[in-house]
Structure 1
């Protein structure tokens, strides 16, 4: 019997039980009176009951119809909730998992978290610094989004460019090399710090480029994350090559100097990637918009900071 019922029949039954008049129910549903009459006939067959019978002041419900009238709102509200389940404010999703390297978390989380707290205070953000297998994990729902140096989106995936970047060098602010000519030879003579990573997140690509140019330290000091590397170079003569936005964030916290590399390195572009399974989800779409807004705000802050630095040098 369940296969013989569709939502439209239940909506007709709801209107008939509310108005107890075929003509009024038809007007409420924007249907013709004959179509509602036919629907009532079909409903009577489905439930094996008259449901509504003529009375002195219109139609009156049978006991079975009165029972259905109590159950119907819950059933229809559940169906409406299924159709409108996506509350595009992060309400229906309590936890979101995002894979992003820690150096990008330093850049994006400061502008992103206040936006989320203001608009979806109950939403928990869990970050994973490991981008290994991100494509597979997106498909299987282990993570919701991935952020990093992602050149292209495979089939069934979507990619959104967040911002471009270039590489910069970090040294301690009183490093003796800062008083010398900053040349390739000076740069090559320094020992490098490098963030160890098995994931091809794009940050490690700069080490490959330096090696091709013959200026990479053959025995770099490997550390686990960007902040550990920053603390190491603050106390040593090491140099660290990182995306410029990351360098700006770290140098604002520690006594470090930022200088451009004396060699040309490929630009660095950060992108957001997600799987087709979540593409049309309203909550997911809302979160992607918030991440893009946070990235745009960070870009504006970066531009303002560069303007201030340029003005201070005049």
Structure 2
């Protein structure tokens, strides 16, 4: 019995050429090899099969019975091997891919546009959008999530990460809030107020609270909520401030009960990323999905 680890797959092409042409020189030309290289390949094939394969006869070479049986089997094997080793492609119009993405509710600022683009270009594909949770990196490791949207510093360094955009923070407050008359409060004035904390990761709004804590100037939380939309909806009629990324805050700009101003300069913009497992680097469907994200964000406001 010949074990596969002892078989040189590079011999398949010369084998097919030799059995077809039944002539070393013509087989070499067909396979794009020199005649000496084809002669060496024939000898290796004879050693591998334990059979002469081609024997001299009047007018040329003839196939041995073993070679005839091998030639019949190659007719089925070679096309399968060509399919196996052919470059993979992804045709969105005909594909039926199941994409699994995840993120906090902040992603709602642009994922509806992503959904529309995916369904317009790949109508047979499906999307599942899951929520961020503390075990999300394990989900990516185990293939339960393909693509994650997240703020900087909130995932494992073992993932591929690509910066998508920066989003400055805005303060959303009641129209009659003491700070509503200005365009950008000082940090002291900002910290004198009570705040709504959006606990997106581990119950903290780390993109805001981390830099403030490094300054030893933490916020005073009057209310903690899990979603940006809940924070914006809880502001009216209170003295609380919700500090939200611009892409979320702008959705409430027309509400007459609210006022939106710039966050203190010490609060730097949110750096937003997408992340995926390295094993998905070269998958054609996943490359298309990531390119679609880039295309959506490069176009008009998502």
TM tier, smaller: 0.7 to 0.9
Q: 1:24 to 1:253 in 2, by over 3 A?
A: farther
Q: CA deviation at 1:168?
A: 1.0
Give the conservation status (yes or no) of the 8 Å contact 1:152–1:159.
Answer: no
Q: Map of 1:1-314 to 2, 5 A cutoff?
A: 1=2, 2-54=4-56, 58-84=60-86, 86-88=88-90, 94-103=97-106, 105-151=107-153, 156-171=158-173, 175-177=175-177, 181-182=181-182, 183=185, 192-199=195-202, 203-207=205-209, 216-220=219-223, 222-233=224-235, 239-248=241-250, 250-251=251-252, 258-261=260-263, 264-297=266-299, 300-301=300-301
Task: Report SS of the residue matched to 1:205.
Answer: helix
Q: Note the residue ranges of structure 2 that are not aligned, 5 or more in a row.
A: none
For residue 69 of structure 2, give the secondary structure of its aligned residue in structure 1. Answer: helix
| Cα offset, 1:109, TM superposition | 1.4
In 1: Cα distance, 2:158 partner to 2:48 partner: 43
Distance 1:223 1:31, change over 3 A: same
TM-score under structure 1 normalisation? 0.73
- Partner of 1:308 in structure 2? none
Q: 1:178 to 1:144 in 2, by over 3 A?
A: same
CA distance in 1, matches of 2:122, 2:226: 32
SS of equivalent residue, structure 1 residue 246: helix
Structure with more of its chain in helix, by fraction: 1
CA contact (8 A) 1:195 1:226 kept: yes
* Unmatched tracts of structure 1, length 5 or more: 303-314
Worse-matched range after superposition: 262-271 or 55-64: 55-64
Give CA deviations for 1:87-142 in whole Å, capped at 9, x if unaligned. Answer: 25578893333332121x21231332333334444443333321524445444434
Structural RMSD (CA): 3.9
TM-score in terms of structure 2 length: 0.75
- Give distance in 2, aligned partners of 1:132 and 1:209: 21
